[in-house]
Structure 1
Amino acid sequence: MVLPRISFRSFIFFFMAAAAIIAAGVAFYWQQVSGILEQDVKTHVAAASEEAAADFNRLIQTDRQVLESISITVEDTYPWADPAKLTEFLRRQTRHNYFKLLGVVTEDGKVFLSEPRRFSPTFIADVTARTLEAGHYLSVLQADPSDGEDVLVQSVSLRRHGRPVGALFALQPPERYRPLLALSAMGNKGYSLVVERSGVPVLGYHKPDFGNMFDLLEGVSFDGKMTLPDLRSAVLNGAHFMVGYRDGGERRFLHFIPLEINDWYMISALPTLYVEHQAQHLTWLSLILFVSIFIIFCALIFYILHMRAYSNRQLFDTAFVDQLTGADNFNRMCEQFEEKLAGLNRRAALIIFDINKFKVINDLHGYERGNQVLQRVARVLRENIAPEECFCRSTADNFVLLLKYTDRKSFRARLSALTTQLRRDCTVEDSCLMIDVAFGVYEVAEDIPFYIMLDRAHLALENAKKMSFDKCQFYDESDRKRIVNEKRIENTMEQALDHGDFAVYLQPKCDFATGEMRGAEALVRWNRLEEGLVKPDDFIPIFEKNGFILRLDMFILEEVARLLAAWNIKGLEQVPVAVNFSRLHLNDSRYIPQMLRLVDKYGVAHNLIEVELTESVIFNNLERAQNVMRGLHRQGFSVAMDDFGSGYSSLNVLKSLQFDSIKLDKEFLSGFEDNPHAHKVIEGAVAMIKSLDVQVVAEGVETREQADFLRHTGCDLAQGYYFSRPLPAAEFERLLKKNTPQTQPPDGTKRVD
């Protein structure tokens, strides 16, 4: 069924008519309910105030009875020959009852108190006289003569054999009686007040701030024909009545109840605002009923339009709003990017930033606290983003911003200020973790697609996260070239290994004493047709990241085993060859079995293969390294620590693992000629290693001076360009064929190149 279309004018007329009917009904209902409620509240006020008066009378009487029971004990011990016992008795009774202080006054003026205090003779005389006159006494609210706090004074007379001998009095805090004056039954909207018949206040729920109640009622308009003189006369005559009055537009009820004590009155007051609130509550319930019916009726007419609008909003929120932070999501950024960029005249920068180690926040404080941090980040970004700029939360703790850009200096200052505010406003409470953000910035300079700009900002962000201090990095074209080169290497590495483009080079290790070659280290070179030989530093780190190093290491090991087997067939000397292995092998249970399979395949003695592991690789997985080294030694392989001294863990590794040889890092020799401290460090390191009965190999020996010094320190073997550069396998074989070195250094140290 198709609903007929209603014109806007007809809808307005219909709406106004319905609203007028509802308003008239509510007004009439309000008038009726208000009258009923007013009468009902009067009844409740009377009942509540009468109950409060009865409770007040009862509590005063109870306290007087307590005093009278205490007075019996005091009278029985009269005369009080031992003041200390009387004082202790009063102190106990003070603690066990609701008294601030208890005191005894004798007819001759002696005073005994539950605690040391000073009272004026006038106060003592007044209490004694009033008590003995009537047998008991209850004062109006007055200041404690000792400390000035508000108290009530209540007393009873002390008698012995029918004659008065003194008075027992108590100081009582008014807080004991004030809860009775709150009119809690009236929703704490009203209160009661105890006054003398003259209108002077005695006690209230709050301390009265006026001198006479009747003075407050000057000029007010009472209900009916009641006047202020009539009110005074009724109170003086002890009448029990209720009256309403209006003062300054506010209407109140007053209920007057005479008390049984001192001709006092309890006056209970309740503003009619309470009544109006009750009436308003009922009226609103009725109004809700009327409006609900009206809304249901209108909803039947506009249901289709409403659902269509709601669906559109839901689709928009789902498509373009991040549900956690309320910010734009990545889809919205993509949708409005070109428009925003044009609005900035393309003088803009695209920024990607995220929170460093955000996972730590989730792990330590839970995902709820982590989500709160992200919400605060979005709030800070809103405060710092101009209308023509935009930002979005793309994924997890990753945010993308498009900001106005003029120059790097001012832009860095803006991002620095943003970082400061993020750290201040977004750090998790009760935590020592302060959030740290990194920015990757691409300065929009080319007309390229958004996703390419985003990739370049991501490259800058990766560099920023590696920095210790400057966490804001701008995109550099060299970054893109580096990534492209890494990708090209990854795309060709498999093919290069299959086609034999990787070659093993051997660098001799020479005896310092004789200069003769005692072994070699296998090094890998990549011969790319378009570029020639590629340095290991350009591809080894890439292979470490993608895991290809596992295959390459085993390829080098197999090449070394093949060469050793070939030298044996040719009758050449077989010297030990060191092979470097990546840290990834330590976590590979197949590592040692693969080595055995490859070495045994060519029938090579295991002692001809030396496994080189770097210091950092060992220390980062010390327990696993111990297990692997034990397995290698069981199979007859020797193990060397490479790059000794390059990190901070050398000594710890030395004490924990048993190596066959130690290779001093070449950085030991960097600038040592001009540094006498370096001489002592090297000498000490060599002496310590030799004391462990471990062979010492020095890397990076490039000058005669270095060679002389290292020989005198006791180093066993040298490896470096002074003795020989890394050689292709064919050239290395020619060295093996020679029984004596080709040349000798001038000092007698033999060289092999």
Structure 2
Amino acid sequence: MSESIIEKHLKKLTIFVAVLSLAILTAGGIVTFSLNRVQQDAIDSRIQREVEKYSDNLHQKLQVDFQTIYTLSAFLEFNEGLEKESFSRGLLGANNHNGFVRMGYFGRNGTGVRVTRGKSIEMDKKLEEVTPEMQEIIRKAWEGEDGFSGVIYDTELEKQVLGYAVPVYRGEEIIGALVATGEADSLKEILTNDVLFGGNGHIQLINSQGEYVLPYETEDIFSGDYFSQKEEERITDVLDSQESCFASLEYKGHRYRLYIEPVGIKDWSLFGIEAVNESNKFLTQMILITRVTFSVILAAVIVFIFYGYRLMKKKNRELIQYAYYDSLTGAFNSEKFQQELAKVMKKQETYALAGLNIRQFKFINEIFGRNQADSLLCHVKDVLEENTGEGEYFCRNSADMFLVLLKGEERKEIQRRIQDIMEKIAAFSANLNHDYDIQMYCGISLIPQGIKTDTATMQTTHTMFALEKARSLPRNSIWFYDLNLHQEEILQNYVESHMNQALENGEFKMYLQPKFDLRTGRLSGAEALVRWIRGDGKVIYPGQFIPIFESNGFCAVLDMYMTEQVCRLIRKWIDQGIRPIPVSVNHSKILFYETDYVGRMEKLIEKYETPARWITLEILEGLAMENIDKLNQVIASLKEIGFRISMDDFGSGYSSLNTLGKLDIDELKLDKGFMEGIDGTDQQKQKIILEHIIMISRSLEISTVAEGIETKENEQMIQELGCDFGQGYYYCRPIPAEEFHEKYMQKGKK
């Protein structure tokens, strides 16, 4: 995963955090809004009910008052001939028994009589002597309509009063108006109620200007800074148009809900208001708890996510450091370097990819210790850092191998820079306090600008091929990837991509090279060797594919395949009545570490019913150097089945005579290098060494086979040294199994 992808993940996480926080905030808002809505609906419903109830009470009071007056007016109609004085006394008596403070009668001529509770009768009262409001409703009654003055101030009574007037008929003719005056406080009794809205609100009577009809704490509802200008204008319009509406206001930290409804009397409206916070404490507490809960949850989530985000970002930085940087040196690792290399290869610039390796680094580790070896690697990193510029990269690819990407394509300049880097790295020798010469080797592949065909991996492979070539050269060698290396790379790619298919197609052919008894000169056995012959007839030689198979592990598969071919051949000889000869087959060390190796070998000989004594398994001496005890356990199991064990190429590597005494082998094959050495200047020394190896082997009851016998002189000399068997081109080159069968097994030729 690249750094950009990790950054994208972090951005996605940030967006997720924001969305989650917004979702929690929205959910809290929705719940709070819903509870507020429920609370507001409950308050609105309650205010509306109370206002409507008080409106009904107001209408009922006025209706009762008018009904009382109409009853008296009917009395006047019925008593047509009643004298004025008797009428006045009757009116006074009626007034004393109803709720009015004053009553009167005014004929259409503008003269009338008026009685006041607790006062004398006023006869011949002129219309002009009463208040203008009373004059207006009297004239209205003369016109046949009920008259109501609303709340007016009576200077004589010195109080707020209500004026009523109804027409008085005689037949179909209106002869006058019966008037009554009631106390305005009777309206207060209707509107004033301490338990209204649970004591958390009140209802007032207002006119179209918002003024209180009855005396109140202020002149009108707009006194004081209760409403915004916009809300005040809206309420004013509602009052003017005699409509109903709800509104909200805040005052001294408290929220209020109000309702205005026209009464239908004069320009009056009922104004109901209730404190929201006090009207429904349960819902208010629920809303508060909900807000606090969601706020706490949101805060906790934000804190948790923020902490998690920071922790993840820190861990991602650590992950990036771990994923893309070498823990020892701090340089890029291979993964990060390959990403940068892939980007660079798309640019219109030329580069050179160099691989640097320290010769015999493992000995530096062993001789000077791991700390000094690690310091050397850090020194290499520092040198590369100092000698690379902008747009140039390097990494510790593995162990002591570094990859460096340099700008340019001029070979001489690239070589000069690499040599300079090598010299600066070699200067670390002074830190070792020993006269140790640090040597390196380098492989380089050039990258043309804007290359499209090669991948970063392929370009690195080119560099590795050049590095491998440089390793075979002396001292601080530098090798550029060229056509020859390219051909080797093509072959390696072909080998690795076709090996499994070649096995299925039977392209791996078994060749046999005979071995002869040096005492009798007779055929004593053969070695099975593999040749890769493609379907088109082209041959891939063992030296071209065996090292690759040893590297990728396919040699174990091929070894078992060759063993099966040997079993088939021996089975064929037995079936044809031919006495078999021992056939040896190479087995790589990978097989010896497989847990089912011995079992598979046993099943193989059981499958072909082949006696195991005719098969010799050849192992390399390098295997014995690793774990002798483990190897002996496997050898013992194989020998118990009947297989013979041979050590191949003894003397080609770091041979140890001590190994011969510890390994339970049956045969020792002397490397052909001994034959080449005997023909050289140190002939006598080589003969002495070879003679003693043969003598020790004989003492250990281990037979010896000399490889690489190419001349009569070789054969004669090895016979004199007491070697048991010989193998080489002097006798016969490796030939196909069919040809071997015809030449040696059918005809019995030597």
Specify the structure having the higher radius of gyration (Cα).
2
TM superposition score normalised by structure 2 = 0.49
